[in-house]
Structure 1
Amino acid sequence: MITIQTSENKKIYFASDQHLGAPTPEASLPREKKFVSWLDTVKEDAEAIFLLGDLFDFWFEYKTVVPKGFVRVLGKLAEIRDSGIPIYFFVGNHDLWMRDYFDKELNIPVYHQPQEFEINGKLFLIGHGDGLGPGDKGYKRMKKVFTFPLFQWMFRWLHPDWGVKLGQYLSVKNKLISGDEDAQFLGNDNEWLVQYCHRKLTQKHYDFFIFGHRHLPLDISLNDKSKYINLGDWIKYYTYGEFMKTFKLKEF
């Protein structure tokens, strides 16, 4: 578990689900510029930055090739990390094929599962949020196929021009997780991540569960001491999280 203690007047920032590249690189460019502007703003007082997945609408790392584009956001992340500010990246369902490019090129650790962090004495469980909790069996089966090493090895043998084009097509076809369709709050009893958080609380106390994936900004009290936060997205809501002593959902 990583422990973070903020310095005076410093904050921890969280963002998720930018889906850069969707529905087309040209259409997502204004969103990329807006997200880079947010990074420029928060770097002034950031102790650390957490990116909770689906930064890209599609991402695949060949041995020597990564998808073209996204130079503004990658350059800004490199600048922030080089300045000494830690950045933590959690893969989402759209960039789950991320390997070691961020780690080697940007010195940004990449996590494929939710992780515990202690921040200013509060215990956080942080992740993208896909495939957690009950239900969503179709996606869970699909994820097992996509993360199976043999499938990834076979996909890697496609020429990048064909592989990236196929991946982008399949990614945009799923309108809900690409953000092209309004996500609706299902109520606490039907929200899988809420149920997941309640189950985790039977095993251990957490002050905050921080997830993305749902494309809805949510701040839900699970009991008197624990909260589930969903960060929303950068397609419709442009929301992010800020923590110093308390957690706040804000809009940029």
Structure 2
Amino acid sequence: MQIPEGKKIYFASDNHLGAPSREASLPREKKFVAWLDEIKTDAAVIFLLGDLFDFWMEYKKVIPKGFTRTLGKLAELSDSGIPIHYFVGNHDLWMNGYFEEELNIPVYLEPKEFIINNKAFFIGHGDGLGPGDKGFKRMKKIFTNPFCKWLFRWLHPDIGVRIAQYLSVKNKLISGKEDITFLGEDKEWLVQYCKRKLQDKHRDYFVFGHRHLPLEIALNDTSKYINLGDWISYFTYGVFDGTNFELKTYKK
């Protein structure tokens, strides 16, 4: 992937639209849409690294109500020829073709490597990676189990979505103090994960979300771990201009 002259690649993650309520998240959604509208002038590619919604569940004929501004803007950008890549997060695990079919946006369930201007990027949401967090890893296996998803789809959407939204808002990723505190490199499990991956293959940038804390950490002289933060407290995003990667804050 080569970035045309004058263009940039943008990264964002963890909007959690709909939390703690649709009304409360509406100003954040409008701010995110304004950012998308602003970057469309020089965006070569946009990477969204998951948890765009606080809950997303696709039945065969039903998707969650709301988020029209966001979905409409993504459709506009995609239709205009700007490639958008989406990585599923732990709050929007149950995607099932809607983004691909309606928005022409590829969806990835696992981290993926991209070569951009001869720089190696390893990109993903970040959940369930690295050591520890065994409880979440067990929970994720249940939520992604085909039989469990089949059972859930038998619930009427009004019931299923309400249950899922309640559980999602109660999730520690929205309110937990540990998610906005830097733990130190030795205890940051995504840092440990990246360092292990470097033993197998060089990557220039590891870019993740999930952590809800903007972070830039040098892994060695040529590799860096980036966490994009969120659009709840920080409104941070990543920009790669073909040479340098930078974390920025959207302040409008």
Q: TM-score range by the shorter chain?
A: over 0.9
Stretches of structure 2 that go unaligned for 5 or more consecutive residues are none
State the match for 1:48 in structure 2: 45
Alignment of 1:172-187 (within 5 A): 172-174=169-171, 176-179=172-175, 181=177, 183-187=180-184
- Does residue 57 in structure 1 map to residue 54 in structure 2? yes
State the match for 1:93 in structure 2: 90
Provide the C-alpha distance between the structure 1 equivalents of 2:166 and 2:37, rounded to a whole number of angstroms. Answer: 31
Aligned amino acid, residue 158 of structure 1: L
Provide the C-alpha distance between the structure 2 equivalents of 1:106 and 1:177, rounded to a whole number of angstroms. Answer: 27
- Does residue 248 in structure 1 map to residue 246 in structure 2? yes
TM-aligned CA deviation for residue 178 of structure 1:
2.3
8 A Cα contact 1:88 1:110, kept in partner: yes
State the match for 2:215 in structure 1: 218
Stretches of structure 1 that go unaligned for 5 or more consecutive residues are none
Provide the C-alpha distance between the structure 1 equivalents of 2:199 and 2:5, rounded to a whole number of angstroms. Answer: 34
State the match for 1:152 in structure 2: 149
Aligned amino acid, residue 244 of structure 2: T
TM-aligned CA deviation for residue 180 of structure 1:
6.2
Provide the C-alpha distance between the structure 1 equivalents of 2:28 and 2:4, rounded to a whole number of angstroms. Answer: 31
State the match for 1:28 in structure 2: 25
TM-score of the aligned structures, taking structure 1 as reference length: 0.97
Q: Deviation above 6 Å: which 4+ runs of structure 1?
A: none
Q: Deviations over 1:153-201 (max 9, x none)?
A: 0000000000000000000011x31256452111000001000000000
Alignment of 1:1-252 (within 5 A): 4-174=1-171, 176-179=172-175, 181=177, 183-244=180-241, 245-252=243-250
Provide the C-alpha distance between the structure 2 equivalents of 1:179 and 1:225, rounded to a whole number of angstroms. Answer: 34
Q: Secondary structure at the match of 1:202?
A: helix
8 A Cα contact 1:11 1:242, kept in partner: yes
8 A Cα contact 1:57 1:178, kept in partner: no
Q: Deviations over 1:85-132 (max 9, x none)?
A: 000000000001112100000000000000000011100000000000
Aligned amino acid, residue 234 of structure 1: W
Provide the C-alpha distance between the structure 2 equivalents of 1:178 and 1:154, rounded to a whole number of angstroms. Answer: 27
Aligned amino acid, residue 173 of structure 2: I
RMSD: 0.8
Provide the C-alpha distance between the structure 1 equivalents of 2:47 and 2:11, rounded to a whole number of angstroms. Answer: 5
8 A Cα contact 1:179 1:215, kept in partner: no
Provide the C-alpha distance between the structure 1 equivalents of 2:52 and 2:176, rounded to a whole number of angstroms. Answer: 15
Change in CA separation of 1:139 and 1:180 when aligned onto 2, cut-off 3 Å = closer
Provide the C-alpha distance between the structure 1 equivalents of 2:86 and 2:174, rounded to a whole number of angstroms. Answer: 19
Provide the C-alpha distance between the structure 1 equivalents of 2:169 and 2:180, rounded to a whole number of angstroms. Answer: 16
